[in-house]
């Protein structure tokens, strides 16, 4: 049975006969008659009782007609849904992000995307770079705003650098610092609060590298996978930290941020997604990110 059988059958019922159905559908009457006859043969029952050259529905024909109309409506709905999905008007999009690093641009980006594609269901997941890697691999997220990918992951994923973040020292507000900047070497005897290496290996290694360049290995007192926790521990005078400047978006009165000397390290934020053909919803979001990349960089990078 094909949808064509149902369309011809319901047309005969709707327009009360084969002749009018033929005229409305622009199909030869014998073709319609044969198609309905084939349908009756497949079903093993009579849909019409032909009395006085009129096609009257049999009782079973009336029941079948209701189901046929419902089936055709569902088919049309499915076709329309597929067409809308092909245009990117509906679908699903899951985004992973680092909260502090995307605070200045992600809400605006999402508003713009939803204004264009209101039928797409967008899910947001705040995840560390490590967790974003896992989520991308499993398909839990479609795109991630994360730290630079390893050489191995670049074989599977495409990435776009959005901006490069300056690194800042974070000290408790109770600490009286007379200078406007802090020398990395002056932190040699401090206890440190850092991001877990596993959660954000690139950032962790960058901080360790800065300290090593200054001639010391940092004494790591605490580690966390959340920037807010790092700031809270510094505020509680459990140590000092070196963080990307975007962490200031989680500003708290209990800490102070200072430019570092030397100021020669930047940590990048990238958008990353699988190289394989993306969905229409994801493609549209990627294009929006690319179109706004310069604007994002201008809003977030410190000169």
pLDDT digit string (tens) for 237-282?
Answer: 999 999 999 999 887 789 999 999 999 999 999 999 999 878 889 9
pLDDT of 175-227, one tens digit each? 888 899 999 999 999 999 999 998 899 999 999 999 999 999 999 999 998 89
Q: How confident is the model at residue 134 (pLDDT cuts 50, 70, 90)?
A: very high
Rounded Cα gap, residues 225 and 194, in angstroms: 9
What CATH number is given for 3-86 in this structure? 1.10.10.10
Burial letters 37-56, b for 16+ CB under 10 A, else e: eebbeeeeeebbeeeeeebe
62-68 mean pLDDT: 86
Give the residue among 47, 29, 28 at the shortest CA–CA distance from 37: 47
For the cut 90, the answer to whether the pLDDT of residue 148 exceeds it is yes
Mean of the per-residue pLDDT values for the chain? 90
For the cut 70, the answer to whether the pLDDT of residue 89 exceeds it is no
Q: How confident is the model at residue 170 (pLDDT cuts 50, 70, 90)?
A: very high
Confidence at residue 303, expressed as pLDDT on a 0 to 100 scale:
37
Strand (E) or helix (H) holding 77: helix 59-86
Give the residue among 67, 58, 56 at the shortest CA–CA distance from 17: 56
Give the residue among 164, 185, 167, 186 at the shortest CA–CA distance from 175: 186
Confidence at residue 88, expressed as pLDDT on a 0 to 100 scale:
63
Q: Do domains 90-161+269-300 and 165-267 have the same CATH topology?
A: yes
Domain ranges of the chain: 3-86, 90-161+269-300, 165-267
- Say which CATH architecture domain 165-267 belongs to: 3-Layer(aba) Sandwich (3.40)
Give the residue among 79, 12, 75, 1 at the shortest CA–CA distance from 39: 1
Rounded Cα gap, residues 211 and 197, in angstroms: 15
Question: What tokens were used for 81?
Answer: 């849904």
Rounded Cα gap, residues 13 and 33, in angstroms: 12
Q: Looking at domain 90-161+269-300, which of 3.40.640.10, 1.10.10.10, 3.40.190.10, 3.40.50.300 is its CATH number? A: 3.40.190.10
């Amino acid at each position: 049975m094909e949808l064509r059988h149902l369309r011809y059958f319901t047309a005969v019922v709707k327009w009360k006969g084969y002749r009018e159905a033929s005229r409305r559908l622009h199909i030869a009457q014998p073709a319609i008659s044969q198609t309905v006859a084939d349908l009756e043969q497949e079903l093993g029952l009579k849909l019409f009782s032909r009395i006085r050259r009129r096609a009257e529905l049999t009782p079973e024909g009336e029941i079948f007609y209701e189901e046929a109309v419902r089936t055709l409506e569902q088919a049309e709905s499915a076709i329309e849904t597929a067409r809308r999905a092909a245009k990117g008007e509906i679908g699903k999009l899951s985004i992973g992000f680092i909260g502090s690093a995307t605070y200045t641009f992600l809400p605006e980006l999402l508003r713009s995307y939803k204004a264009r594609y209101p039928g797409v269901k967008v899910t947001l997941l705040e995840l560390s770079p490590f967790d974003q890697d896992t989520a991308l691999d499993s398909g839990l997220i479609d795109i991630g705003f994360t730290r630079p990918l390893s050489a191995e992951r670049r074989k599977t994923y495409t990435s776009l650098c959005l901006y490069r973040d300056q690194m800042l020292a974070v000290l408790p507000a109770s600490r009286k610092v007379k200078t406007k900047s802090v020398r990395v070497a002056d932190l040699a005897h401090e206890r440190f609060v850092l991001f877990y290496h596993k959660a954000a290996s690139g950032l962790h290694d960058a901080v360790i590298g800065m300290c090593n360049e200054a001639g010391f290995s940092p004494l790591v007192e605490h580690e966390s996978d959340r920037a807010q926790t790092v700031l809270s521990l510094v505020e509680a005078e459990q140590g000092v930290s070196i963080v990307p400047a975007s962490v200031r978006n989680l500003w708290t009165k209990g800490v102070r941020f200072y430019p570092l000397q030397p100021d020669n390290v930047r940590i990048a934020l990238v958008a990353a997604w699988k190289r394989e053909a993306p969905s229409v919803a994801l493609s549209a979001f990627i294009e929006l990110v690319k179109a706004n990349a310069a604007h994002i960089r201008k809003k977030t990078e410190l000169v």
